[in-house]
Amino acid sequence: MPVSALRYEPRVDLQSRNLAEGQSDVTVRGGTFENTGFRVGALTVGDPQTGHYLAELPIAPAMLGAPEVATGASLFLAATNATVGAIVQEWRPIRNAGAAVAVAGESQLRRAELYQGRRWGGEGAAVRWAGDLALATSESDGPLPGGDHEFFRGNLRLQRQDGGAQTDALAGYQAKRFGWPNLYTPFNSSELENLQTTLWVINHRVGQGADGSVEMGAFHRRNKDDYAFNRFAPVGPVHPFQHTTWLSGAAAEVRRQWMGLEWEARGEVQADQLQSTSLTAGRYMSRSLARGALAVRNEWATDTAGGRGSVRVGVGYDDTNRGGGAVTPLLEFGRTFSAAGLRRFRFGYAKSTQVPSYTALNSSAVSGLFRGNRDLGRSASHNLEVAVEGSLDHWALEAAAFFRRDRSLVDWTFRRGVVARTANAVDVDTAGLELVARRSWTVLDLVLGYTALDKDPSYRGAAVDASFYALNYARHRLTLAAVARLGGGVELRIDNAARWQAENLLRTQGGRQALNSSVGLVVRPRGWPGWEFTARVDNVWDDPYQEVPAVPASPRQWSVGLGYAW
């Protein structure tokens, strides 16, 4: 899945249940699973029921570019209804190429993928058409009892290129059935979830060189969710937790040079609808959202060698037909340097807001496994950040320090003696430091990352003994990714994440310290062009650390694969 590429991204903490084909929460800078936005092309594609399904994008990774993480001032124009960060991906141009992959592994793991792209018209043609098809399937008995999964995804895309313009139209479908003990609750139950997601997208981008660009699009997404607290309990004709959501949206973004200034404008609208057997205690079952934002950037020379200074100011407005709106300002100062060493400095402030999901708003406040609050309102995040980029002895270095004030943030909490988790609003101040270092040699690539976080929460008098999400964060997290080219077409890939977690009484295994490592061997025989053989071990040390408190860790697993590209 697209989310799999984020497993060891230094700026992202991926909290998985079962495999990536199961359920994964993407958190950025100590946020929660619902604070992160997902943008594809011009569009923010989310889920109005719960942030647990934000990463349910039925799009093959081969159709998308590398993910970028937008935070702070970069988030201002990156996404709608996200307060901490956004994962941004563009549509990849289609080539005459294809690939097939088959994987087998422990616990009867069987996985297969097929991709084929085709272009019509030569390179010199004024208009070129292309299309690609992708299929993927995966199934496993699971490394734990009740940890099985079945997965299928199908994609069909049509692409048109005309000079600097690219138009993409996609139809995607994805079905997932996966189980895991304590999947969402800490009550020792074997839970099961069945998701079916359909996505239709059209996206158009026109690049205008140094003068700017225009990008616009529209989408429609349907997500069906059938959740079972106890997969072995008999159910009647109506399952107790069945939800279907529809989300439609359109967006447009323009970047232009005018009057010696760089202008950026973005507008996005979304409309959702919920149908549910249990999320019925709220005030509404449909909603519309809108965001408009404008930013202006002025740049000037600071020296004759190419150094530049800049100031960027902006204002946005978020609104919904189910509550009041909010103004979101932006102010950022920047400086680029012509000398070696320090290359860029920036300092800025940005505000972002978000409205709650239906699971928080429409769950009953007095009964059930998930206790909601129909009066939860818009949350706001104020982010102050200073960052530098540079190089030292062939190392590319990035550092950022930030302070974020989240107000009315929706968190899910636990109280002793209550067999439920409860949606509560929390005010929390977060201070953080991020460091990333990269270097490449002829035979070795290294990426090092370090994140430090400190939080000060206030639940406004609510009775809270533990937090599933807002206070589930690493005080210190180290990542190391390495790719060693051993010669003869052989590569060794190692990913590591070490953490010192904040204390949480819900975490029953693994303690507060953890080391998770994955090792992969890739062999591309020189005499067999296009062929690739892989072997991989996940969670090498069989660390029992629970990424989500009370949710059992996925134990060590191995897999081998065979692929061919043409």
- Joined together, the tokens standing for residue 544 give 């029992």
DSSP 376-425: ---EEEEEEEEEEEEEETTEEEEEEEEEEEEEEEEEEEE-TT-SSEEEEE
Question: CA-CA distances (angstroms) from residue 112 to 221, 278, 528?
Answer: 25, 36, 21
Q: Give me the domain span that covers residue 450.
A: 2-565
The domain that holds 141 is classified in CATH as 2.40.170.20
Residue 291: closest CA among 90, 82, 86: 82
Measured CA to CA, the distance from residue 381 to residue 409 in angstroms comes to 8
Predicted local confidence at residue 21, as pLDDT: 62
User: How many structural domains are present in the chain?
Assistant: 1
In whole angstroms, give the CA distance from residue 448 to residue 381: 28
What integer pLDDT is reported at residue 462 of this predicted model?
86
Please check whether residue 170 is in contact with residue 204, taking contact to mean a CB–CB distance below 8 angstroms.
no
Please give the pLDDT value at position 404: 97
Q: Which H or E run contains 349? A: strand 342-354
Sheet hosting strand 85-89, strand order edge to edge: 43-44, 36-40, 85-89, 68-71
CA 544 – CA 222 distance, rounded (Å): 35
Q: What are phi and psi of 474, to 5 degrees?
A: -90, 125
For every residue of 111-123, DSSP letters joined together read: EEEEEEEEEES-T
321: CB partners within 8 A, 6+ apart: 287, 288
Give residue 172's Cα distance to chain centre: 18
* 8 A C-beta contact, residue 164 and residue 209: yes
The Cα–Cα gap between 114 and 511 comes to 40
CB neighbourhood size of 456 (10 A): 10
Torsion of CA 524, 526, 528, 534, to 10 degrees: -10
CA 225/CA 184 separation, integer angstroms: 14
pLDDT at 20: 55
In this prediction, residue 401 carries a pLDDT of 97
**Per-residue pLDDT tens digits of the chain, which is 566 residues long:** 888 888 778 889 988 887 656 688 999 999 999 999 999 999 999 999 999 999 999 999 999 999 999 998 999 999 999 999 999 999 999 999 999 999 999 999 999 999 999 999 777 778 899 999 999 999 999 999 999 999 999 999 999 999 889 999 999 999 999 999 999 988 889 999 999 999 999 999 998 777 789 999 999 999 999 999 999 888 777 678 999 999 999 999 999 999 999 999 999 999 999 999 999 999 999 999 999 999 999 999 988 778 899 999 999 999 999 999 999 999 999 999 987 788 999 999 999 999 999 999 999 999 888 999 999 999 999 999 999 999 998 999 999 999 999 999 999 999 988 888 999 999 999 999 999 999 999 999 999 999 999 999 999 888 899 999 999 999 999 999 999 999 999 999 999 999 999 999 999 888 889 999 999 999 999 999 999 999 999 999 999 999 999 999 999 999 999 999 99
Residue spans of beta strands (DSSP E) within 56-185? 68-71, 85-89, 97-105, 109-120, 127-140, 149-162, 165-181
Tally Cβ neighbours within 10 Å of residue 306.
Answer: 11
Report the distance separating Cα 191 and Cα 147, nearest Å.
9
- Judge if pTM exceeds 0.85: yes
